Amino acid sequence: MPGRVDGGKISALEGSLLVVSAILPWAVLFIPVLAIETAGQDAWLSSVPATLLGIGVAFLATALARRFPGETLIGFTLKTMGRPLGYLIGAAYVVWLTSVAALTARGFGELITTMILPRTPISVVIGALIAVVATNVRGGIEVIARANQVIVPIVVAFLATLAVLSFKDVDPRNWQPVLERGLLPVLQGQYIAGGFFGEVMVAAIMILPFLNRKAASLRVLVLPILALGLLMMGTSLWYVGVLGAEVAGRLVFLPVEIAKHVSIANFLERLEAVSVSLWVTASFAKLSIWCYGATLAAAELLRLQDYRPLAWPIGLLVGELSVLFFNDQAEFFRFVRWSATPYMLVFEAVIPLLLLGVASARGARGPRPGTASTLEEPPSPPKV
């Protein structure tokens, strides 16, 4: 395939589960907490506009993928914008992918150092994860997809089990009154969630080009976004129902906090260690996807034949940036709350929309099977 440095193939199911893992840990661990802090008991409503935004980004990614079949985002950026602008935009995407991976690694580090290992330096915790992730990335898209196919069902099954075990603690009165402060807090909650639901754009880089059935591209993106939107809505209702909006808005890792209070017949209790272990696994899957995207994009930008030599350097850079970006947990959450969404949407929506517009105006297209890449231009006048 043109512009590809990994010859792997994945099925539509594997692609959908990769989209789920690219967003899942944040859709359950961080976004609902910040939405509850902003919108209180109405936080579940914030998932509706965030889901619609994610679906819009999915349609945009699919439109680009269909115009440039088999190409990654870097490939069709270079074909659309040419030199040097295409290389500058491609380099910006490498920076974006690396920084989101660093943000993901820092979130994992905060989880472990807050809930399990408070005396361990966060750099040690993140470094251990990066070592495993870099090894996974070197295995290629097929290895990442196979591992992820095991991880996602286990994490979702545990969430469902935890919800059932804590159902007796749900108080429906915690969900009332609805829209007590109007729509503005709900929209503020959507502002926080929107940028992370737009992470589906990473699929244009490292999922859609590897599908064995290109016709399934739109379904591979839209169905996971709908499922994640429903999951965020359900978890927001669950958190508020069990803890109340005031308490839930002050805590950080709500699934772990709820797991602490599960007690069935004085036998099945104190499940927070299991909860943390599963979120470590989910973070591993998410970080593998983003590090793979950054490594693949960098290799294609540098015109390398093999992306694997960059897996460890990119991993080390991600680990270093995750420690340097933020001095403490307060800075981390301040960035996620106020700055992450506009930063993310520039790369998830603004630049891709610009690329699609320019490609349409110039007639730029990727190659169809058995053809060369084309850029439709008016014929040159005949020579005299």
Is the model's pLDDT at 3 over the cut of 90? no
Distance CA 264, CA 267 (A): 6
pLDDT at 380 over 50: no
pLDDT tens sequence across 266-323: 777 778 888 999 999 999 999 999 999 999 999 999 999 999 999 999 999 999 999 9
CB 148 within 8 A of CB 14: yes
Residue 56 has a pLDDT of: 94
Q: What pLDDT was estimated at residue 345? A: 93
pLDDT of 181 reads 86
User: Strand, helix or coil at 268?
Assistant: strand
Q: How far is CA 7 from CA 2, 197, 206, 296, in A?
A: 10, 28, 12, 12
Contact between 365 and 373 (Cβ < 8 Å): yes
Cα distance from N-terminal residue to C-terminal residue, the chain: 39
Q: Please check whether residue 194 is in contact with residue 350, taking contact to mean a CB–CB distance below 8 angstroms.
A: no
The model's pTM = 0.90
Amino acid sitting at position 37: E
Rounded CA-CA distance 272/257 in Å is 7
Backbone angles phi, psi at 265, to 5 degrees: 55, 30
Place of tokens 């320019």: 358
Task: Write the pLDDT tens digit of every residue in 161-196.
Answer: 999 998 988 999 999 898 988 889 888 888 888 888
Mean pLDDT of the chain: 88
Q: How confident is the model at residue 375 (pLDDT cuts 50, 70, 90)?
A: very low
State residue 268 phi and psi, 5-degree precision: -95, 100
Yes or no: say if 125 and 109 are a contact pair by the CB < 8 Å rule.
Answer: yes
Determine the Cα–Cα distance for residues 332 and 197; give it in Å rounded to an integer.
19
Residue type, 158: F
Q: What is the CATH number of domain 12-366?
A: 1.20.1740.10
Confidence of residue 133 (pLDDT cuts 50, 70, 90): very high
Token pair listed for 236:
């927001």
CB atoms within 10 A of CB 328: 10
Q: Is the pLDDT of residue 75 over 60?
A: yes
